[in-house]
Structure 1
Amino acid sequence: MRRLRLLPVALVAALALTAGACGGGSSGGGTSSGGRASGGTLTLGATIAPNPWDLRGAGLNGAELQYYEAVYDSLIRLDPNANPTANLATRWEWDATNTVLTLSLRSGVTFTDGSPLDAAAVVTNLLHTKDGTGEAAAALRDVRKAEAVDAGTVRITLSEPDPSFLGNLGQSPGMIASPRAISDGSIKTKPVGSGPYTLSGPGTTVGSQYTFIRNPKYWNAKAFPFDKVVIKVLADQTARENALRSGQVDAAEVAPGRMESLRGAGFNASPVLTGDIEGLYLWDRGGTVCKPLGDVRVRQAINYAFDRATIAKQLGGGFSTPTEQLFHPDSSAYDKSLDKRYPYDPAKAKQLLAQAGYANGFSCDELDFSTLFPAAQAAITQYLSAVGITLTPKSIPVAQILTSLQSAEVPLSYFRLSARRPWDTVRSTIAKDAAWNPYHYSDPEVDRLIADTQRLTGGEQDKAFKSLNKYLVDQAWSATWSVPQTAYALKKSLSVTPEAFMSNPPLYRISPAG
């Protein structure tokens, strides 16, 4: 399955530009709300357009979530630390096996087409989204059964415990669309939900600008203070910054290196962790195609070969944080002490290669990212050649990169992978059947530790994730470099509360200042 929403943010922009997307856009539609307590218009600059409105193909999070939040309400609302709180579901309870979740729904909620948002509607949505091909569908793949106990109660049965399941119901997997629109197929081109806004045709140009007007029957209007939200698609970073400075948009994601300049121009600008981990991913850690990678000493040597502090500074413009882990610093699996496991030591790298039988080094193929990420590609070549490892770049058309990687066509490459909650990382990157474990490498100890994380809860689960993390670092599953950052800038008349793992804040986190 091709999961496009796992595409790194930088690569999304690169692909969009390659396809001919352009910045700019007209100023029509949006007038800033200024410092008003409510009402007015909020105009945002976005990196991508919504694709699709049917949540079967939706990504899990990212810039497109702002579009979905405008029209679809979610079962769960996430707090700034990405913990679940009440929304459409007011209460919930797991059974003793952590495989049966019972949700109590808010009463009196209706879709904008007049139909009720009840348990039957929730069941329809969960099963419909699960049957899709996007990341939202993948997040629901453990749903074995969903049933309406009564009009206000939903019971969801999973095939196995999923520690991220409840949190994912606060993103696209838990968003609820009108069953009528799903049934007649109109949901593919026009969203119909119960959210705070509805999509306005007169102010919308597909692929360029999307205008949302207030839903007067929304149950929680105070969480969304603006009467209108306009989102302009501006794939290029420079175009987004120019739109900010000219007043065409009120807020947008910007390059972190531009924060100081924007602050000097009167904007609020703050760094935001993207939720990604970047570095050299050793896809073929079992040595299926590149035999040396099957030796843990070789993988450890690769880790010792990189000067992470220098790479993070040079590639991240001083806004990236060095790391040696697959898990994100905002997650409960992260262990700061593990980032000292592989200090920069070329001599140690050569020693380990010699012990593994590669005193004269070795060679293997890699994906050539020199067009999209020239600095990252140069860093890989420089540091690995210094310890005797020669990589032969394999050129792959941009449009085929994801399928090529997930089809195990190259044993290693530079990449960025999303690393939100620990279980999300397990399911997307570590498990044998994970989309980003293309060679389906497995390890009995990893399997045991993964089972522990599923079985346990609370503090014991956190310990199990940390144990798994330590084992992966010791086994050098990959050679990650850094936690990249982006930045979010907005007018002084607005305030925003960041949310963990989100490069673009949810709409309910943006409000007039003061």
Structure 2
Amino acid sequence: MLRRLAAALLSVLLVVLAPVAAQAFVWARSSDALTLDPHVANEGPTVALIQNIYEGLTERDRAGRLGPLLAVSWRMLPEEPTVWEFKLRGGVTFQDGSRFSADDVVFSYRRAKQPNSGFSDYFASVVAIEKVDDLTVRIRTRGPNPAFVENTPAIFIMSKAWSERNGAAQIPDNATTDANFANAHANGTGAFVLVSRQPHVRTELRRNEAYWNRGHVALGIANLTYRPIPRASARVAELLSGAVDFLQDVPIQDLPRLRAQSGLTVTSGVENRTIFLGFDVASQAPRGTEAGGRNPFADLRVRRAMNIAIDRDQIQRVVMRGEALPSGIIIPPLVNGWTGELDTPPPFAPARARQLLAEAGYPEGFATTLYCPNDRYVYGEETCRALVLMLGRVGIRVKLVAQPQAEQSSALRRTPGPDLFLAGWGSPTYDSEQVFSSLYHSRDGQRGAYNATGYSDLQADEMIGKLSSEIDGGRRDALIARLWQKLRGDLIYLPLYHQMLSYAMKEAYDIPVDVSNMPKLKLVAAPTR
């Protein structure tokens, strides 16, 4: 009898001390994903949500290091250096129970290569995607491309059969207005399964109990709710009330209070992202600019004037409250190609800025429109308001249009793009080639997908093309350095600052900052009672 009582008491004690799955983990941030289609939008909040459902051949850890996922190994064939070979993981199933194989990889890569994909830039050098056997795929490039594997974490794998069965094999011409089945439905190999989606309201996921990697990740969240809450004060109020477990976009002004709040934990770190201004440099007369029928942004003197009219130290100190690093280049120190010399911001020189504007034929300045996302970046709209004042002091009269990231992202994919815009970019490959290919190369149906400036330079395009096939590391780094010197001089973008990140959460959870701002919630352990 005593033995049975002791055993019962021990059983109760073990239940009390054992980790328990979180039954209602609520993840909140400022903006929603644009879609659930994994190949449409190369945009931060979209990818951050989708990565919980879909997976790539490889993935990056919280520090940005590349590792295996649906592929167990990869290599450039020594006898044929234009071919990458990937050995795939066996025993993996999609969430509908169907088996993952090379057919799905070939289908997904060909789909993501379509011109209207947000990831077509990643395939600019790819000429063929071939199945060797059920667990082997080969990617053939125009020339040797040693950096191609760095693209693979971003290309998520869809089920070929599921996509074709549901009419989702092709990406719509306009994914916003012509969304297909994959826009609001999902079937990946990842740690969470889609339950329901209400755009701009909430997305409900549940743990994938049949997840192939379950024994190697914490997977402590049973039910996951993703809630976009655009208003900063509302996000914080929901966290403080206990309605939110994890807050990703923490307002800077609330950091001291949240760090001191009992029952909460705040983690901080540098993000792989730079915030910058871009221009329409190609239109004859941008539609939202009044400058005597001319395009002032096409004149390098105007771009230089604007660059030195910006007081980056004030933005860091006053607007960002120290949570930013002033920049002179649009890649952070984490990315290959960065140097301290390139990243030195120009001196603040408003008098010289006014002189340059006069030399360019604008002694009285001009009027223009700045388009700014108001639900995407940490203090993005506040930064734009500060820029309006700074540019106004040198004679550039700026009308601010603050809009949701969904509208901003759509505008950046059009030609011509906005007159003047604020944007942010992080290189998912941690290499400058991806930035060159996406933001600087001429739009040609593959490269230049996010080059909203209209910038088109034959020499730059040729150098970027050579970069993708340069196999010698030393020559490749030298070519990257030459490209940055040229592009930094052309001043197509005005770097502002490298963004820093903070996450806030209930103290029962431990979620370190992910340098790509892609928190991997499969790694979150269940809290203890």
TM-score range, shorter chain: 0.7 to 0.9
The structural deviation recorded for 1:432 is 1.5
User: What secondary structure, in the 3-state scheme, does the structure 1 residue paired with 2:525 have?
Assistant: strand
User: Which residue of the partner structure matches residue 317 of structure 1?
Assistant: 321
Say whether the 8 Å CA contact 1:118–1:151 is kept in structure 2. yes
User: Which residue of the partner structure matches residue 382 of structure 1?
Assistant: 389
The structural deviation recorded for 1:335 is 2.0
Report the Cα distance in structure 2 between the residues aligned to 1:156 and 1:182, rounded to whole angstroms. Answer: 22
User: Which residue of the partner structure matches residue 363 of structure 2?
Assistant: 360
User: What secondary structure, in the 3-state scheme, does the structure 2 residue paired with 1:297 have?
Assistant: helix
User: Which residue of the partner structure matches residue 87 of structure 1?
Assistant: 69
The structural deviation recorded for 1:370 is 11
User: What secondary structure, in the 3-state scheme, does the structure 1 residue paired with 2:336 have?
Assistant: coil
User: Which residue of the partner structure matches residue 333 of structure 1?
Assistant: 337
Match of 2:45, as an amino acid?
A
The structural deviation recorded for 1:156 is 1.6
User: Which residue of the partner structure matches residue 45 of structure 2?
Assistant: 63
Say whether the 8 Å CA contact 2:21–2:222 is kept in structure 1. yes
The structural deviation recorded for 1:110 is 2.3
1:447 pairs with 461, 466, 477, which one? Answer: 461
User: Which residue of the partner structure matches residue 505 of structure 1?
Assistant: 519
Q: What percent of counterpart residues are identical?
A: 22
Say whether the 8 Å CA contact 1:77–1:87 is kept in structure 2. yes
Matched, 1:260 2:256: yes
User: Which residue of the partner structure matches residue 239 of structure 2?
Assistant: 244
Match of 1:264, as an amino acid?
A
Report the Cα distance in structure 2 between the residues aligned to 1:245 and 1:106, rounded to whole angstroms. Answer: 43
Match of 1:465, as an amino acid?
I
Taking the TM superposition and a 5 Å limit, the aligned residue runs for 1:83-162 are 83-95=65-77, 99-131=82-114, 133-140=116-123, 142-159=125-142
Match of 1:464, as an amino acid?
L
TM-score, length basis structure 2: 0.77
1:183 pairs with 139, 160, 164, which one? Answer: 164
Matched, 1:74 2:56: yes
Report the Cα distance in structure 1 between the residues aligned to 2:507 and 2:16, rounded to whole angstroms. Answer: 9
Match of 1:383, as an amino acid?
M
Match of 2:464, as an amino acid?
I
Taking the TM superposition and a 5 Å limit, the aligned residue runs for 1:290-301 are 290-301=294-305
User: Which residue of the partner structure matches residue 9 of structure 1?
Assistant: none
TM-score, length basis structure 1: 0.79
Report the Cα distance in structure 2 between the residues aligned to 1:396 and 1:490, rounded to whole angstroms. Answer: 29
Matched, 1:222 2:216: yes
1:231 pairs with 225, 242, 245, which one? Answer: 225
Structure 1 residues 306 and 209, CA, compared in 2 at 3 Å: closer, same or farther?
A: closer
Match of 1:238, as an amino acid?
S
Gaps of 5+ in 2: 1-14, 168-180, 287-293
Report the Cα distance in structure 1 between the residues aligned to 2:212 and 2:400, rounded to whole angstroms. Answer: 52
Matched, 1:431 2:441: yes
Aligned residues: 474
Report the Cα distance in structure 1 between the residues aligned to 2:505 and 2:374, rounded to whole angstroms. Answer: 31
The farther-off stretch of 104-113 and 279-288 is 279-288
The structural deviation recorded for 1:118 is 1.4
The structural deviation recorded for 1:227 is 5.2
Say whether the 8 Å CA contact 2:91–2:212 is kept in structure 1. no
Say whether the 8 Å CA contact 1:49–1:64 is kept in structure 2. yes
What is the alpha-carbon root mean square deviation over aligned residues?
3.6
Say whether the 8 Å CA contact 1:143–1:158 is kept in structure 2. yes
Cα deviations across residues 353-383 of structure 1 (Å, max 9, x unaligned)?
A: 45x4547254253336599866444433433
The structural deviation recorded for 1:425 is 1.6
User: What secondary structure, in the 3-state scheme, does the structure 1 residue paired with 2:510 have?
Assistant: strand
Cα deviations across residues 179-236 of structure 1 (Å, max 9, x unaligned)?
A: 33112118634422322333346xx767424031232352343214315131231323
Structure 1 residues 405 and 364, CA, compared in 2 at 3 Å: closer, same or farther?
A: farther
Choose 1 or 2 for highest CA Rg: 2
User: Which residue of the partner structure matches residue 486 of structure 2?
Assistant: 471
Match of 2:160, as an amino acid?
P
Report the Cα distance in structure 2 between the residues aligned to 1:240 and 1:190, rounded to whole angstroms. Answer: 27
Cα deviations across residues 331-370 of structure 1 (Å, max 9, x unaligned)?
A: 122222234351112233344445x454725425333659
Gaps of 5+ in 1: 1-32
2:503 pairs with 488, 501, 506, which one? Answer: 488
